[in-house]
Structure 1
Amino acid sequence: MREDLELLAPVGSFEALKAAVQNGANAVYLGGKDFSARASANNFDREELKKAVEYAHIRDCRVFVTVNTLIKEDEKSAFIEYITYLYSIYVDAIILQDIGMANLINKILPDFELHASTQMAAHSLDDVKYLKEVGFKRVVLARELNIKEIKEICNRCDVDIEIFVHGALCVSYSGQCLMSSELGTRSGNRGRCAQPCRQKYRLYDSEKKCYIDVKGEYLLSPKDLNTIENIGSIIESNVLSLKIEGRMKRPEYVATVVGAYREAIVNYIESGDKKIDEDTTDELYTIFNRKFTHGYLLGESGSEIMNSEKPNNRGLLIGKVIDYNEKKKKLKINLEKDLRKGDGLSIGGGTVGRIIKGKNILEIGNAGDIVEIDFIGKVKKGTDIFKTSDGRLLDRVRKTYENNKEYVKIPIKAKFSAKLDEEASLMIIDNNGIEVSVNGVKKTEKALKTAISSDKVKKQISKLGDTPYFLDDFECYLDDEISIPISDINNLRRQAIEKLNLQRIKIDRNCNVRDINQNLNIDKLNEKDNINSNINTQDSNDDLELANGNSSLDFNDSEYFLNVSCTNLEQLKEILEFENSYNQEYKITSKYENRNEYKACEKNKGDKKVCNNISNIGKIYYRDVNTISEAIEIAGRYNKKISYYYPRIIRYFENKIYDRLCKLNQEEIQSLDSFRMSNYGQIYRTSKLFPNIPKDISSWMNIINSESINYYIDKEFRNICLSQETSLAQVSNIKSDYSNLEYLVYGQSEMMLSEYCPMGVLIKDCKKNKRDALCNKSIYYLESSEGRKFRLSQDEFCRTTIYSDEVLNLVENIENLKSKGIKNFEISFKFESVEEIKFILEKFNLAISEKEDCKSLKIDDFINFNKKLGKEIQYNMGHLFKEID
């Protein structure tokens, strides 16, 4: 158990801040108007942020500001200026997602505490260790982790760990969901998620060509997390911070939930009491819930996590409808919980007025009573009735933060001294050891009648009712027979408290913000780094040519490369055969010895036949670790190396992926071109296991600015694939000449990655990893209300990917990307047949050719080809021209 255990509360308004502090939060997290991953919350402007920090710090509450969005290139200067402002007003820490910005802040403000947002999808000990090396003091773990994993991480690292204990859950791994921006422009990585997971869907079986009859329509909507009944086991995991979700929730919600968890924490720490009283549980249900779950955190999964019936507040079950008298407009209810006048019910119609029991009109109906209420509408017999608001609860919690009352008091010590003919003095020492002293303006005089007493001074100093302090200890030194006006003592107390408040607001800072703001020039700051980056980039390019030019025929010396990812041996063989057949034909038809000689000559007159017979295949990213040895051996037959493409998630019980790689012999390891990274833990582990094998970055590392690019170049990464949410305009804004940037130009978009498996849960009520033949053979889709069908795919760990119904295809836009400096183009194969792979490679191979005659390719070519195969595939251009909000 951590002695410094923290209860962290969400704050979306100043009232919510007061509610959090006055109900026992040790820290709060809130957002400003910009760069916050809850862009629609009622965020704080700069003056409000300053006041929020002052209010919280005076009351011993830390303030963390969320700046956990991806930062576009043209936002960098504004972002850093904003960060320096947060630093200057004594914000305790900032919560970040963008690794490039984290690296930049470390250069500018090295003592500004950084927290790794849950948007960074940290889900392993390796992730945490790597993020510590980057400069993060705290890591917010993914919501998908269980208590065993969390305890393992806490016990094996010295990084502060934060976890969610209450509130809304995302069905996807945070930071790994593109569904909102794929279906529109609102990006979860930019704080504007449109919550497509809370919409209606149907499950469609493509093999049987029918819809599956399931309970409910909201097939991607999770329940809300509630762990209060297991707070003891969470505390014993040695986690530092217990986080409540809900920056968009009203102050009453914050007050209720924070108060409940504070009481539970205190009871457990002080007496080991794990029991939560029924009233507390009922209040949590009433204030807001989408049904509650203990979550992955406490071992639940599948249907235990999801609520397909209703995506908004469910309330507290209080009874069932016995009858409805339509003529008298009266609803008869058998109460299982108390019902009060002024409560709100799930059946609508405003708040409850009269409560009728027999001939009596009551203010309250008790559990077990049969009562009637006035109601206009139609409700079926047997309908469950839920209480969605409780007037008494709301009144009680509002009192905790309204009228500026102070319910959390801080102990102080006071030392008062008064000597004849000298000014009286007062020293105050707070619980943090801060000392302040003030002196009176008048000299002490001899008492004419009654001398001032120590008890009288203490009484006046103790009058701290409208402050967040109470007098815990008092020392008084008085000369005999002296007189001090009571008003003077009161003035000393007020001045000392004001001085103490000013000191408590501040925290130690080493950097001079004024100098930073005067000299802030990101380009200058990075000038040295850019020089190093350019050198590293050039070295990387030289290495890249060697790596990609591993064919004995030396055909891969093109300026542009098609880098192809694939999922199985069959796809790999087709890619290799495609490259081999093209290169062999080139060898026969070309009069030139190699591609460099051909390129120099063809600038003048060219040779269309030769142009069409050159393969531009560069890297091959192979995804299946179970067949990695076979893949290496097959590629070797073609004199080609492959790169292993890591999955996005590797949990601690999935270490067999690393075990399998470690079983490769030395010859096989040397036959790998590189490792392609999808999360930070993979970088950490792979650098330890295989320090001499190059590394690439996939699009799932969410890179959209030059700071992130430079970070990875400085770490000697090779190909760096930009985020799939990066528009052409953003690529253009980056401006630097990075020859190792990569852009995804073809593939079925992975919109969401989830531990939830709709196929298993909805069809066979599967709760754990029970993958079987049905999972392998069946193909299911989620169909939206608009009739769009999104394919579902499950991996060996029962982790589900939801794919877009449209395929990204930029065959017509290659020149646009070339003009912005992109030289590496990724094609991602997942479900494509051998026949489709050959066709796609042929077209894109032509598209990146330097011959003008080879560029007149259209999407219609693909549509017509698919028709011959009996397929209808819709294509889109992703975010190339669609800017994310």
Structure 2
Amino acid sequence: MKAAVASGADAVYIGGSRFGARAFADNPGEDKLLEAIDYVHLYGRKLYLTVNTLMKEQEMKELFDYLLPYYQQGLDAVIVQDLGVLGFIREQFPDLPIHASTQMTITGVHGARLLKDLGAERVVTARELSLNEIRQIKDQVDVEIESFVHGALCYCYSGQCLFSSLIGGRSGNRGRCAQTCRLPFDVRDGGKPIGKKDERYCLSLKDLSTLDLIPDIMEAGVYSMKIEGRMKSPRYTAGVVHIYRKYADLYLEKGRSGYRVEEEDRRILLDLFDRGGQTDGYYKNHNGRDMIVWKEKPSFREGNSQLFEQLDREYVEKQLKVPVTGNLFLTEGKNASLILQSQEYRVLIEGDMVQTAQNQPMSEEKVLKQLNKTGNTPFQFESLSAEIQGNVFLPVQTLNDLRRRGLKVLEAEILHEYRREYRKQDLPDKQVSNCNTRSSGAWNLTVSLEKPECFDTAVHNLNVNRVYVDAAHFEPQRWNHYVQACHDSSKECILTMPHIFRMEAQRFFDRNLVHLQKAGFDGFLIRSMEEIGYLKKASIPGKLVFDFGMYGMNRRAQKMLLDLGANEITWPVELNSRELEKLEIPGELLIYGRLPMMVTAQCLHQGMKQCDHTPVLLSLKDRMGKEFPVKNHCTFCYNSIYNSAPLSLLGYSDSVEALSPASLRLQFTTESPAETAKIIQVFADEFLNGKKAEAILTDFTRGHFKRGIE
């Protein structure tokens, strides 16, 4: 933090002891964090607290006491992912600015506007957004935009990754990502390896570096340029911040015409950290092979000792000082006085009475030399004068005390502006809207489909009450047919919206708006905040079923989802059965299906072969021999990487019944029609008909239903 301030950062995000997305970092305790808040304020900078993880119900009770001392100290903002946390802070600390984390996967105008309406002052955009998409948000939504300009890139859309969570119980949504994407994988097509043998790091992205794009980024409307520096050294922080400060200032001073990047500065950034090259990211490209590391990082690399020593000397070890102007007044027989001024702050301190010198009177030179010793204080005199009248004498100790008290008062005066007093909020009792109703055992069974060839199997099964059809794979011209077939079989038909709603999705639905209006879907499975605003703007009727990726991890988050328009909620897949019991609103429970472990802008099919706009099914094989299916959803230009084994709660019907979910969902992704038919029947036999289930799955996972996450 000190290195960032010393090298020119306007603000720093920092995690405390709880609730931050860097759970394994050496985060400061309360006393150090309070000290850090004062530190940045003395130098006219800002400090933002990371509260950007999803929170379980029991943790919400601890949030107020955790935040209160930082709020009172003058914390400048909090960054959040959890909607429940956002609502809580808005109610309890209404004047504390909120930043919406990139973990919220904000990809467009609708989501940014929604968060602005909920009280977010700033939106940190998804790293995958183009300059044009950022510009649209700036033009249409009155909200500050923060975007990443340097540092590590996640392979997955932030907030949509369950890879580390499902493999090892370390959830990226809880700040515990194990960086599974940095491991080697073999890509397979039809069981056969494809690609070069030494290109196994297919999920590891190069680090982002955007020096050449700074004019474009600033002109697109980005208010805050964000440097990612998870668990890096002070030296790295100082070096990167210093260079971006230099080029931001260069553009502000000389504009585009005077903007030139020196090759030496590019080399410095690589010397500071290099995992296999750098990329300018997604600002001008949707994805690309050249963004991927592909090959293993060298085990040893010669360090630039001269650079490192310079950074340590100029930023890491050097104590930053606040410039002060001082005026000392010494008059025989009167109290000494000292006026100190820094920025717009001015204080007057009186000392002891000035004595008459018995021998040699104090000279101006001697007085100033003594007074100028600011030592370990955060201040340094940039100008200092003494007005002396008569033959004056003042003990050195008294002069030192005058300076010490003066600087202490000046510091208090500067920091006083930031202090807050907490005022208890009188909050109205909130009534829970009608949403899913608790089941008494007679469950509704719903089926989610990605493959049109499985539709007839689902629609003709008498046990199924609802069919979800995926907009990425069920052609719009036949939407009306699917809805009618469901209705003829007394079933609901819900359109599954894309995991990622960007310009491709906007154009797709605009192009097929007539089909959407005529289809008469009973509702929509919402997977992105953008979709809420789009459907509302397009005046498309139907219930809104929020999917598990909308994250109602606690009661307050659930209520926020209802406020956003949810008619039904899908329970999160990262909570165990005991944690699900604590949720107030019954949700749809996923009892079968391959979970999407990653949703990515990158495309393995394109990276390994070519972009031919043809959906294919590839697989990733890890070091343990597990294979993860990969689909490219070309309609919306994103990939899904699924778990190697499907979730199955067969044999857990008693535990499920104890939770009283609103409905049960079977989710089909890669299964054939025959497999789909068999699985529907087996689960219906156990969960609906009370029969002993046939063991049909040889490889499956219980997910987090029992173990949960940290």
- TM-score (structure 1 length as normaliser): 0.74
Q: Aligned-pair distance for 1:422? A: 3.7
Separation in 1 of the partners of 2:349 and 2:637?
67
Range that drifts further, 269-278 or 615-624: 615-624
Whole-angstrom distance in 2 between the partners of 1:499 and 1:304? 56
Aligned partner letter, 2:685: L
Q: Which residue is equivalent to 2:305?
A: 391
Residue 472 of structure 1 deviates from its aligned partner by 6.0
User: Equivalents in 2 of 1:526, 1:700: separation in Å?
Assistant: 29
Q: Which segment is superposed worse, 443-452 or 217-226?
A: 443-452
Equivalent residue letter for 1:435: R
- Where 2:651 maps in the other structure, the secondary structure is helix
Q: Is contact 1:569–1:631 with CA below 8 Å preserved after alignment?
A: no
Aligned mates of 2:481, 2:395 — CA distance in 1:
90
- Please state if 1:754 is matched with 2:600: yes
Equivalent in the alignment of 1:728: 577
Count of residue correspondences: 702
The code of the aligned residue for 2:629 comes to R
1:213 aligns with 2:196: yes
> Which is further off, 800-809 or 234-243?
234-243
Shift in alpha-carbon separation, 1:747–1:527, aligned structure 2, 3 A: farther
- Does the aligned pair in 1 maintain the 2:211–2:261 contact within 8 Å? yes
Question: Aligned residue for 2:702?
Answer: 877
Pairwise mapping of residues 366-765 of structure 1 onto structure 2 (< 5 A)?
387-401=301-315, 403-406=317-320, 409-414=321-326, 421-431=333-343, 433-443=344-354, 467-469=377-379, 471=381, 481=390, 483=392, 485=394, 487=396, 488=398, 490-508=400-418, 511-512=421-422, 528-529=429-430, 532-533=431-432, 536-537=433-434, 540=435, 559-578=442-461, 582=462, 615=463, 617-618=465-466, 620=468, 622-624=470-472, 626-627=475-476, 628-660=479-511, 662-664=513-515, 668=519, 671-690=520-539, 693-734=542-583, 736=584, 738-739=585-586, 741-764=587-610
Identify unmatched segments of 5+ residues in structure 2: none
Q: Contact 1:424–1:444 at 8 Å: present in 2 too?
A: no
Structure 2 counterparts to residues 246-395 of structure 1, below 5 A? 246-272=229-255, 273-290=258-275, 291-299=277-285, 301-310=287-296, 312=297, 348=300, 387-395=301-309
> What letter corresponds to residue 391 of structure 1 in structure 2?
S
Cα shift at 1:181: 1.3
Does the CA contact (< 8 Å) of 2:72 and 2:420 recur in 1? no
Matched, 1:104 2:18: no
**Cα offsets for 1:781-834 (capped at 9, x unmatched):** 111111111111001243111111101111221321220221311111222333
State whether residues 416 and 425 of structure 1, in contact with CA within 8 Å, keep that contact through their aligned partners in structure 2.
yes
CA shift, 1:569, in A, is: 4.2
- The 3-state SS of whatever aligns with 1:307 is strand
Residues 472 and 58 of structure 1: CA distance in aligned 2, closer, same or farther (over 3 Å): same
How many Å separate the matches in 2 of 1:83 and 1:803?
A: 37
Work out the CA distance in 1 between the residues paired with 2:380 and 2:481. 73
Aligned to 1:72: 56
Find 1:783's aligned residue among 621, 624, 634: 621
Evaluate the alpha carbon distance shift between residue 481 and residue 527 of structure 1 in structure 2; reply closer, same or farther with a 3 A threshold. closer
Q: Which amino acid aligns with 2:151?
A: G
| 1: CA distance, partners of 2:111 / 2:159 | 14
User: Which letter maps to 1:857?
Assistant: A
Distance (Å, rounded) in 2 between the aligned partners of 1:834 and 1:640: 19
- Paired with 2:541 and 2:323, the residues of 1 have a C-alpha distance of 57
Relative to structure 1, is the Cα distance of residues 469 and 629 closer, same or farther in structure 2, using a 3 angstrom cutoff?
farther
**What is aligned with 2:126?**
142
User: Per-residue deviation at 1:466?
Assistant: 5.3
Aligned-partner Cα distance in 2 for 1:663–1:462: 77
C-alpha distance after superposition, 1:113-156 (max 9, x if no partner): 21111111111121111111121111111111122222332233
**Which residue does 2:692 correspond to in 1?**
856
Correspondent of 1:795 among 633, 640, 660: 633
Query: Could you tell me how far apart the structure 2 residues matched to 1:237 and 1:830 are?
Result: 38
Tell me the residue number matched to 1:238. Answer: 221
User: SS where residue 530 of structure 2 aligns?
Assistant: helix
Which of 41, 44, 58 is matched with 2:25 structurally? Answer: 41
Provide the C-alpha distance between the structure 2 equivalents of 1:460 and 1:686, rounded to a whole number of angstroms. Answer: 71
Contact 2:466 2:493 in 1 (8 A): no
Whole-Å separation in 2 of the counterparts to 1:59 and 1:501: 11
Aligned counterparts of 1:437 and 1:811: Cα–Cα separation in 2:
76
1:50 shift after superposition: 1.8
CA distance 1:158–1:527, shift in 2 (3 Å): closer
Distance verdict in 2 for CA 1:174–1:666, change over 3 Å: closer
Q: Write the distance in 1 (CA, Å) between the matches of 2:355 and 2:660.
A: 80
Identify the residue that residue 612 of structure 2 maps to in structure 1: 771
C-alpha separation in 2, matches of 1:451 and 1:134: 64
Cα distance between partner residues in 1 of 2:182 and 2:706: 27
Identify which of 649, 659, 666 aligns with 1:820: 659
Aligned to 1:836: 675
Judging changes above 3 Å, is the alpha-carbon distance between structure 1 residues 841 and 878 closer, same or farther for their aligned structure 2 residues? same
CA distance in 1, matches of 2:470, 2:523: 10
1:172-191 to structure 2, matched below 5 A, reads 172-191=156-175
Q: How far apart in 1 are the matches of 2:443 and 2:346?
A: 66
In structure 1, the gaps of 5 or more residues are 1-16, 315-345, 349-386, 517-524, 546-556, 583-614, 765-769, 864-872
Q: Are 1:229 and 2:212 counterparts?
A: yes
Checking the alignment, whether the CA contact within 8 Å between 2:441 and 2:657 is kept in structure 1 is no
User: For residues 709-745 of structure 1, what are the alpha-carbon distances to aligned partners after superposition, in whole Å with 9 as ceiling and x for unaligned?
Assistant: 12223445221112111111211233x3x34x11111
Distance 1:639 1:622, change over 3 A: farther
Equivalent pair of 2:182/2:204 in contact (CA under 8 Å) = yes
Taking a change above 3 Å as real, the CA distance of residues 814 and 389 of structure 1, as seen in their structure-2 partners, is same
CA contact (8 A) 1:168 1:225 kept: yes
> For residues 691 and 110 of structure 1, do their structure 2 counterparts lie closer, same or farther at Cα, with a shift above 3 Å needed?
farther
Show CA shifts across 1:44-87 (max 9, x none): 12222122222222222211121211111222222332122332
Aligned partners of 1:233, 1:713: CA distance in 2, in Å? 38
CA contact (8 A) 1:676 1:695 kept: yes
| TM-score for the superposition, normalised by structure 2 | 0.91
Q: Is the 8 A contact 2:448 2:665 kept in 1?
A: yes
**Any conservation in 1 of the 2:101–2:123 contact (CA below 8 Å)?**
yes
* In 1, Cα distance between equivalents of 2:18 and 2:260: 42
1:94 matches 2:8: no
> What CA deviation, in whole Å up to 9, does each residue of 1:590-647 have, x standing for no partner?
xxxxxxxxxxxxxxxxxxxxxxxxx351464553474233433433444544222211
Q: What is the identity, as a one-letter code, of the residue corresponding to 2:142?
A: D
- In structure 2, what is the Cα distance between the partners aligned to 1:156 and 1:438? 51
Cα distance, 1:437–1:744 mapped onto 2, change above 3 Å: farther
